Amino acid sequence: MTKQEKVNFVINTLDKLYPQIPIPLDHKDPYTLLIAVLMSAQSTDVRVNQITPLLFERADNPYDMIKLSVEEIREIIKPVGLSPMKSKGIYGLSHILIDKHNGKVPQTYEELEALPAVGHKTAAVVLSQAFGIPAFPVDTHIHRLMYRWNLSNGKNVVQTEKDAKRLFPKELWNDLHLQIIWYGREYSPARGWNLEKDIITKTIGRKSVLDEYYKKQKKS
């Protein structure tokens, strides 16, 4: 299979598996998505979705958020982890949105990444999922799968994002990054991985990854 045939196989397989693509984090507008994504760092979407309703019941816009203290925010979001840093980020960015952006979430990487606790991946998720602007946020699932599929060298997420954007058509980025995340969770996890269920890796996987998998299977 050529590289292009592999890419087409990935796209077609994911389209069949995920014709409808749910967004993992519950939200109702760009602001609540931004807060949910910020909270998801080193946490799980399931945990974040349990906690955001408690926070958004108190404050679901920057004007209400700054009426809470950093300590109050921290107490509410404590179960998602890293709450001292995240609560300061939520409070700080809410102030900046009011002061500089009329309470609205900006729509550029530069403006988003200038906000406290907002990195490149968070900005990419917001641009893609809130505004439909083509972006390819790379999380651990995408990073792992792009390496397993021999579509990236796995050096770092920056390289993986470059490779994904180079290989996949721009108009598919917003759907594809979500499809790969869902596929990684269901069929190609880091732990408890069953290659027989993972049709994409089984078909186009990196030889060293497949060899390593079969070697482990023989031992067990």
* Residues 6+ positions from 173 with CB-CB distance below 8 Å: 128, 134, 135, 136, 164, 165
198 flagged as catalytic = no
Q: Which DSSP state fits 193?
A: -
- Could you tell me if 172 and 11 are in contact, meaning their C-beta atoms sit under 8 angstroms apart? yes
Long-range contacts of 98-101 (CB under 8 A, 24+ apart): 98/62, 98/63, 98/66
Q: Which of 139, 165, 175, 202 is the catalytic position?
A: 139
In the numeric block, which tokens belong to residue 81?
């982890």
Q: Which of 6, 60, 86, 121 is the catalytic position?
A: 121
139 flagged as catalytic = yes
Distance separating alpha carbons of residues 20 and 27, to the nearest angstrom = 18
In the numeric block, which tokens belong to residue 54?
């408690």
Residues forming the active site: 121, 139
